Amino acid sequence: MIRIHLASVFVDDQAKALDFYTRVLGLEPRQDIDMGDGNRWLTVGNPGAPGVELLLEPSAHPAVGPFRDALVGDGIPATQLAVDDLDAEHERLTGLGVTFVQPPMDFGPVAVAVIDDTVGNLIQLAQLKG
Amino acid sequence: MYDALAAPARRAILDVLTVRDDQSLFEITTRLLGDHGISLTRQAVSQHLAVLEEAGLVSSRRHGRTRLHTLDTGPLREIARRWPTKESS
Protein backbone atom coordinates (compact mmCIF):
# COMPACT_ATOMS: atom_id res chain seq x y z
CA MET A 1 0.00 0.00 0.00
CA ILE A 2 1.30 3.42 -0.96
CA ARG A 3 0.53 6.20 1.50
CA ILE A 4 1.14 9.91 1.57
CA HIS A 5 4.13 10.46 3.84
CA LEU A 6 5.47 13.92 3.03
CA ALA A 7 4.14 16.99 1.27
CA SER A 8 5.98 20.27 0.92
CA VAL A 9 5.49 24.00 0.73
CA PHE A 10 8.20 26.40 -0.43
CA VAL A 11 8.97 28.96 2.26
CA ASP A 12 10.94 32.21 2.02
CA ASP A 13 12.42 31.93 5.51
CA GLN A 14 12.59 28.58 7.28
CA ALA A 15 12.89 29.97 10.81
CA LYS A 16 9.94 32.27 10.28
CA ALA A 17 8.01 29.42 8.66
CA LEU A 18 8.67 27.09 11.60
CA ASP A 19 7.38 29.75 13.99
CA PHE A 20 4.21 30.29 11.95
CA TYR A 21 3.39 26.63 11.38
CA THR A 22 4.06 25.63 15.02
CA ARG A 23 3.42 28.57 17.36
CA VAL A 24 0.63 30.15 15.31
CA LEU A 25 -1.03 27.22 13.54
CA GLY A 26 -0.30 24.67 16.28
CA LEU A 27 1.50 21.95 14.32
CA GLU A 28 4.43 20.15 15.96
CA PRO A 29 8.08 20.32 14.90
CA ARG A 30 9.36 16.98 13.60
CA GLN A 31 12.66 16.78 11.74
CA ASP A 32 15.26 19.54 11.73
CA ILE A 33 18.46 18.50 9.95
CA ASP A 34 21.24 20.84 8.80
CA MET A 35 21.62 20.42 5.03
CA GLY A 36 24.49 22.89 4.65
CA ASP A 37 24.46 26.39 3.10
CA GLY A 38 22.03 27.45 5.79
CA ASN A 39 19.34 25.10 4.53
CA ARG A 40 17.47 22.70 6.82
CA TRP A 41 15.42 19.56 6.25
CA LEU A 42 12.61 20.98 8.29
CA THR A 43 9.27 19.25 8.81
CA VAL A 44 6.17 19.71 10.95
CA GLY A 45 3.45 17.20 11.80
CA ASN A 46 0.01 16.85 13.28
CA PRO A 47 -0.16 17.44 17.06
CA GLY A 48 0.19 14.19 18.97
CA ALA A 49 -0.02 12.09 15.82
CA PRO A 50 2.95 10.53 14.04
CA GLY A 51 2.64 10.07 10.30
CA VAL A 52 2.34 12.49 7.44
CA GLU A 53 4.65 15.50 7.60
CA LEU A 54 4.82 18.85 5.86
CA LEU A 55 8.26 19.85 4.59
CA LEU A 56 9.06 23.55 4.89
CA GLU A 57 11.31 23.68 1.87
CA PRO A 58 13.62 26.61 0.96
CA SER A 59 12.25 28.65 -1.94
CA ALA A 60 15.64 29.50 -3.46
CA HIS A 61 15.18 27.56 -6.74
CA PRO A 62 14.61 30.09 -9.57
CA ALA A 63 11.44 28.31 -10.72
CA VAL A 64 9.72 28.83 -7.37
CA GLY A 65 9.29 32.60 -7.67
CA PRO A 66 7.32 32.71 -10.94
CA PHE A 67 5.34 29.59 -9.95
CA ARG A 68 4.28 30.98 -6.59
CA ASP A 69 3.68 34.50 -7.91
CA ALA A 70 1.21 33.08 -10.43
CA LEU A 71 -0.62 31.02 -7.78
CA VAL A 72 -0.74 33.80 -5.20
CA GLY A 73 -1.74 36.32 -7.88
CA ASP A 74 -4.90 34.34 -8.53
CA GLY A 75 -5.45 33.61 -4.82
CA ILE A 76 -4.76 29.89 -5.19
CA PRO A 77 -3.65 28.11 -2.00
CA ALA A 78 -0.53 25.93 -2.01
CA THR A 79 -2.05 23.30 0.25
CA GLN A 80 -5.00 22.58 2.52
CA LEU A 81 -5.03 22.03 6.27
CA ALA A 82 -7.97 20.59 8.22
CA VAL A 83 -9.56 22.33 11.20
CA ASP A 84 -12.26 21.15 13.62
CA ASP A 85 -14.04 24.49 13.91
CA LEU A 86 -13.31 27.04 11.19
CA ASP A 87 -15.11 29.96 12.85
CA ALA A 88 -13.21 29.38 16.09
CA GLU A 89 -9.89 29.21 14.20
CA HIS A 90 -10.82 32.36 12.28
CA GLU A 91 -11.28 34.20 15.56
CA ARG A 92 -8.17 32.72 17.19
CA LEU A 93 -5.88 33.30 14.20
CA THR A 94 -7.22 36.80 13.54
CA GLY A 95 -6.37 37.58 17.18
CA LEU A 96 -2.81 36.41 16.47
CA GLY A 97 -2.56 38.79 13.52
CA VAL A 98 -3.01 36.23 10.73
CA THR A 99 -4.29 37.66 7.43
CA PHE A 100 -7.36 35.95 5.98
CA VAL A 101 -7.24 36.48 2.22
CA GLN A 102 -10.61 34.73 2.12
CA PRO A 103 -12.86 34.73 5.20
CA PRO A 104 -14.73 31.52 6.14
CA MET A 105 -17.20 30.45 3.46
CA ASP A 106 -19.76 27.74 4.20
CA PHE A 107 -20.71 25.37 1.38
CA GLY A 108 -22.72 22.83 3.39
CA PRO A 109 -20.51 19.74 3.65
CA VAL A 110 -17.37 21.87 3.79
CA ALA A 111 -16.40 25.31 5.05
CA VAL A 112 -13.19 26.89 3.78
CA ALA A 113 -11.02 29.94 4.27
CA VAL A 114 -7.62 31.05 2.95
CA ILE A 115 -4.80 32.52 5.02
CA ASP A 116 -1.41 34.05 4.23
CA ASP A 117 1.38 31.97 5.82
CA THR A 118 3.75 35.04 5.89
CA VAL A 119 6.49 33.07 4.08
CA GLY A 120 5.14 33.24 0.54
CA ASN A 121 2.10 30.98 0.40
CA LEU A 122 -1.64 30.99 0.70
CA ILE A 123 -2.98 28.09 2.77
CA GLN A 124 -6.54 26.86 2.70
CA LEU A 125 -8.20 25.87 5.97
CA ALA A 126 -11.04 23.37 5.59
CA GLN A 127 -13.64 22.09 8.02
CA LEU A 128 -15.21 18.88 6.75
CA LYS A 129 -18.62 18.38 8.32
CA GLY A 130 -20.68 15.26 8.78
CA MET B 1 -21.86 46.27 -21.58
CA TYR B 2 -24.84 44.41 -23.08
CA ASP B 3 -22.51 41.83 -24.59
CA ALA B 4 -20.83 41.46 -21.20
CA LEU B 5 -24.21 40.80 -19.56
CA ALA B 6 -25.38 38.42 -22.29
CA ALA B 7 -23.52 35.37 -20.98
CA PRO B 8 -25.17 33.54 -18.06
CA ALA B 9 -21.76 32.69 -16.61
CA ARG B 10 -20.82 36.37 -16.48
CA ARG B 11 -24.10 37.26 -14.79
CA ALA B 12 -23.34 34.54 -12.22
CA ILE B 13 -19.89 36.06 -11.65
CA LEU B 14 -21.58 39.41 -10.95
CA ASP B 15 -23.90 37.59 -8.49
CA VAL B 16 -20.83 36.16 -6.76
CA LEU B 17 -19.28 39.62 -6.52
CA THR B 18 -22.35 41.00 -4.71
CA VAL B 19 -21.41 38.81 -1.71
CA ARG B 20 -18.35 40.88 -0.89
CA ASP B 21 -15.75 43.16 -2.47
CA ASP B 22 -12.15 42.19 -3.18
CA GLN B 23 -12.38 38.57 -4.29
CA SER B 24 -9.50 36.66 -5.87
CA LEU B 25 -9.92 34.53 -8.97
CA PHE B 26 -9.75 31.47 -6.72
CA GLU B 27 -12.53 32.76 -4.45
CA ILE B 28 -14.80 33.63 -7.39
CA THR B 29 -14.25 30.20 -8.93
CA THR B 30 -14.93 28.51 -5.57
CA ARG B 31 -18.12 30.51 -4.97
CA LEU B 32 -19.39 29.82 -8.50
CA LEU B 33 -19.15 26.12 -7.76
CA GLY B 34 -20.21 26.20 -4.11
CA ASP B 35 -23.06 28.72 -4.30
CA HIS B 36 -24.23 28.38 -7.91
CA GLY B 37 -23.22 24.86 -8.91
CA ILE B 38 -21.35 26.33 -11.89
CA SER B 39 -18.13 24.48 -12.67
CA LEU B 40 -15.78 26.64 -14.73
CA THR B 41 -12.03 26.45 -15.17
CA ARG B 42 -10.03 29.31 -13.71
CA GLN B 43 -8.99 30.20 -17.25
CA ALA B 44 -12.64 30.56 -18.27
CA VAL B 45 -13.45 32.67 -15.20
CA SER B 46 -10.38 34.77 -15.90
CA GLN B 47 -11.54 35.43 -19.48
CA HIS B 48 -15.07 36.31 -18.31
CA LEU B 49 -13.58 38.72 -15.75
CA ALA B 50 -11.56 40.41 -18.51
CA VAL B 51 -14.79 41.01 -20.49
CA LEU B 52 -16.56 42.35 -17.38
CA GLU B 53 -13.61 44.62 -16.59
CA GLU B 54 -13.56 45.90 -20.16
CA ALA B 55 -17.27 46.77 -19.77
CA GLY B 56 -16.54 48.61 -16.51
CA LEU B 57 -18.69 46.23 -14.46
CA VAL B 58 -15.73 44.87 -12.49
CA SER B 59 -12.66 46.64 -11.20
CA SER B 60 -9.53 44.94 -9.94
CA ARG B 61 -6.54 45.93 -7.87
CA ARG B 62 -3.50 44.27 -6.45
CA HIS B 63 -3.44 43.76 -2.70
CA GLY B 64 -0.03 42.48 -1.71
CA ARG B 65 0.65 39.89 -4.38
CA THR B 66 -2.98 38.91 -5.04
CA ARG B 67 -5.32 40.49 -7.61
CA LEU B 68 -8.74 41.24 -6.12
CA HIS B 69 -11.97 41.93 -8.01
CA THR B 70 -14.88 44.17 -7.04
CA LEU B 71 -18.31 44.73 -8.61
CA ASP B 72 -19.03 48.15 -10.10
CA THR B 73 -22.73 48.60 -10.86
CA GLY B 74 -22.16 52.13 -12.18
CA PRO B 75 -22.59 51.24 -15.87
CA LEU B 76 -25.94 49.55 -15.09
CA ARG B 77 -27.46 53.01 -14.45
CA GLU B 78 -27.49 53.49 -18.20
CA ILE B 79 -30.17 50.78 -18.38
CA ALA B 80 -32.45 52.62 -15.95
CA ARG B 81 -31.83 55.94 -17.72
CA ARG B 82 -32.63 54.46 -21.11
CA TRP B 83 -35.66 52.47 -20.00
CA PRO B 84 -36.97 54.23 -16.87
CA THR B 85 -39.26 52.27 -14.58
CA LYS B 86 -42.81 53.65 -14.82
CA GLU B 87 -44.78 54.24 -11.66
CA SER B 88 -47.65 51.73 -11.56
CA SER B 89 -50.99 53.52 -11.61
pLDDT higher than threshold 80 for residue A9: yes
Residue B74, pLDDT above cutoff 70: yes
Helix (H) or strand (E) holding A128: strand A122-128
Pairs of residues, one from chain A and one from chain B, whose beta carbons lie less than 8 Å apart: 46
Number of H helices, E strands in chain A: 3, 8
Chain B residues within 8 A (CB-CB) of chain A? Answer: 20, 23-27, 30-31, 34-35, 42, 46, 64-68
A51-74 as b/e: b if 16+ CB within 10 A: eebbbbbbbeeeebeeebeebbbb
A96 pLDDT higher than 90: yes
Residue B71's domain comprises: 2-82
**pLDDT averaged over every residue in chain A:** 96
Closest by alpha carbon to A120, among A21, A41, A23, A6?
A21
Give me the mean pLDDT over the A28-53 stretch: 95
One-character DSSP codes across A57-98: EE--STTHHHHHHHHHHTT--SEEEE-S-HHHHHHHHHHTT-
Could B26 and A102 be called an inter-chain contact, meaning their C-beta atoms sit closer than 8 Å? yes
| Cα separation, B67 vs A71, whole angstroms | 11
pLDDT, residue B87, reads: 76
- The whole-number pLDDT of residue B89 equals 58
Domains and CATH numbers, chain A: 6-128 (3.10.180.10)
Tell me, yes or no, whether B65 lies in a domain: yes
**Spatial CA neighbour of B65 closest among A67, A79, A48, A90:** A67
CATH number of the domain within which B42 lies: 1.10.10.10
Of A69, A75, A107, the CB nearest to B27: A75
Question: Mutating which of B20, B41, B66 best tests the A interface, going by the most A Cβ atoms within 10 A?
Answer: B66
Asked if residue B42 belongs to a domain, the reply is yes
Residue B9 DSSP SS3: helix
Q: Does the interface predicted TM-score (ipTM) exceed 0.95?
A: no
Q: How far is CA B35 from CA A43, A52, A77, A81, B1, in A?
A: 36, 32, 20, 22, 25
Residue B87 lies inside a defined structural domain of this protein:
no
Count Cβ atoms within 10 A of the Cβ of residue A50 and give its class: 0-12 exposed, 13-18 middle, 19 or more buried.
Answer: exposed
Tell me how many domains chain B contains.
1
Residue B88 lies in a domain: no
pLDDT digits (tens, 9 = 90+) for B4-33: 999 999 999 999 999 999 999 999 999 999
Q: Give the best residue of A59, A68, A80, A102 to mutate against chain B (max B CB count within 10 A).
A: A102
- Segment A85-111 shows an average pLDDT of 95
Q: How far does chain A reach from its first CA to its final CA, in angstroms? A: 27
